[in-house]
């Protein structure tokens, strides 16, 4: 009743299940591509973050270098504070780096685009980006366009 074949079949079953799990982890999810734990944190203040969300990507020249860690609102300065984790490999961002919120494609997700400045000093952990540009909110644009065309 309990033979070697049964043992082998059960072994194959468990191995196939584990292979499927590893495939889901490495090939399907973001676990293999980009580890979010290793990195340093920088902050940026925006007037309006539009549709930016926690876990949105941070890009440098189009290359993904990190992600948005937390979004808070500073009641004293009436600005949104975006906390980002940047991978350790990209540790030479000048202190006059600017941050913009862009949309990938017309209806795509929103992301933080960084543009390096020219200073010789670099942003460290906890550094703050001073030069920021708010998200383009498409409803505001349409509103302005309608207002202009009415005049």
Closer Cβ to other proteins, 97 or 111, answer by number: 111
31 binds other proteins per the rule CB under 8 A: yes
Closer Cβ to other proteins, 36 or 130, answer by number: 36
104 binds other proteins per the rule CB under 8 A: no
3-state secondary structure 125-151: CCEEECEEECCCCHHHHHHHHHHHHHC
20 binds other proteins per the rule CB under 8 A: yes
Residues that bind other proteins (CB under 8 A): 1-2, 6-7, 9-10, 12-14, 16-21, 23-25, 27-33, 55, 57
């Amino acid at each position: 009743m309990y033979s070697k074949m049964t043992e082998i079949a059960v072994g194959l079953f468990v191995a196939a299940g584990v292979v499927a799990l590893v495939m889901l982890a490495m090939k399907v999810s973001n676990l293999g591509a980009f580890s979010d734990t290793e990195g340093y944190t920088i902050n940026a203040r925006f007037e309006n973050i539009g549709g930016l969300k926690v876990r949105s990507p941070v890009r440098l020249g189009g290359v993904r270098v990190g992600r948005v860690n937390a979004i808070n609102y500073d009641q004293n300065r009436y600005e949104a504070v975006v906390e980002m984790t940047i991978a350790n490999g990209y540790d030479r961002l000048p202190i006059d780096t600017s941050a913009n919120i862009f949309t990938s494609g017309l209806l795509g997700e929103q992301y933080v685009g960084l543009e390096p400045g020219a200073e010789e000093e670099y942003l460290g952990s906890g550094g703050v980006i001073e030069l920021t540009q708010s998200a383009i909110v498409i409803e505001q644009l349409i509103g302005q366009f309608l207002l202009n065309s009415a005049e």
